[in-house]
Structure 1
Amino acid sequence: MLQKAFGEQALSKTQTYEWFKMFKEGRESVEDEERSGRPSTSTDEQHVNAIKELVLKNCRLAVRDLAGLVGISEGSVKTILRDHLCLKKVKSRLVPKTLNHASFSS
């Protein structure tokens, strides 16, 4: 019935039974549980602060330049800029997404 109602987006029969079993055993949340794995070492507080300082000194630095100066991957730099510092590129400048400098400088 689920596949008929929701098509390809529906859980498979096996997956439905697994979820049913977990809830029957006492699970209350539908959110994913924490998984063990290798922690991110490039987006730690030290790297976030280093990127923040470089951007405050020169907001025209390219992601490639920031990655080279700090010694982490370009993907990690993009994650720090987007998720931790809430910045985005606007005409070759890194600016706060909300365009409120007070929120960035704190």
Structure 2
Amino acid sequence: MVQRISIKFCVKKQNQVARTHSDVDCGVWTLDQSNVYRWYKMFSEGREDVNNKNRAGRLSTSTTDENIDEVKKIILANRQITVREVAEDLNISIGSCHSIFTNDLGNLC
């Protein structure tokens, strides 16, 4: 993201895109030329956000309101239960259970 911020800065300074590519080169974490040019173009056309847009992916079938409520009940009944144990109890993946813990019940846990 630091590189995208640098590209945006170079666009605001009206640097040429080729110069921007060399300015953004940070060694190990370098964006390739095509990505620098792509981000440069987007910022030149008025884009302000430096974050990637969310992509459509496979919808989660485990992080339903019912599962969220069940996870909450299990946690409130036993505060020392593990993510793995909750996932096994509800027959959902550990990743989905972890997502519920962090994204939906973050302030509870």
Is the TM value for this pair above 0.5? yes
User: How do 1:52-91 and structure 2 match up within 5 A?
Assistant: 52-86=72-106
**TM-score, normalised on structure 2?**
0.64
How many angstroms apart in 2 are the aligned matches of 1:60 and 1:79? 18
Structure with the higher strand share, 1 or 2: 1
Q: Could you tell me which residue of structure 2 aligns to residue 95 of structure 1?
A: none
Percent identical pairs in the alignment equals 36
Match of 1:50 among 70, 75, 86: 70
In the alignment, structure 1 residue 14 sits paired with structure 2 residue 34: yes
SS at match of 1:35: coil
Structure with the higher helix share, 1 or 2: 2
In the alignment, structure 1 residue 23 sits paired with structure 2 residue 43: yes
- Cα deviation for residue 72 of structure 1 reads 0.6
Gaps of 5+ in 2: 1-21
**TM-score, normalised on structure 1?**
0.65
SS at match of 2:47: coil
How many angstroms apart in 2 are the aligned matches of 1:79 and 1:37? 15
* Structure 1 consecutive aligned stretches of length 4 or more whose deviation exceeds 6 Å: none
How many angstroms apart in 1 are the aligned matches of 2:53 and 2:69? 29
Going from structure 1 to structure 2, the CA distance change for 1:10 and 1:53 (only over 3 Å counts) comes to same
Larger deviation, residues 48-57 vs 19-28: 19-28
Q: Which amino acid aligns with 1:73?
A: S
Gaps of 5+ in 1: 87-102
Aligned length: 87
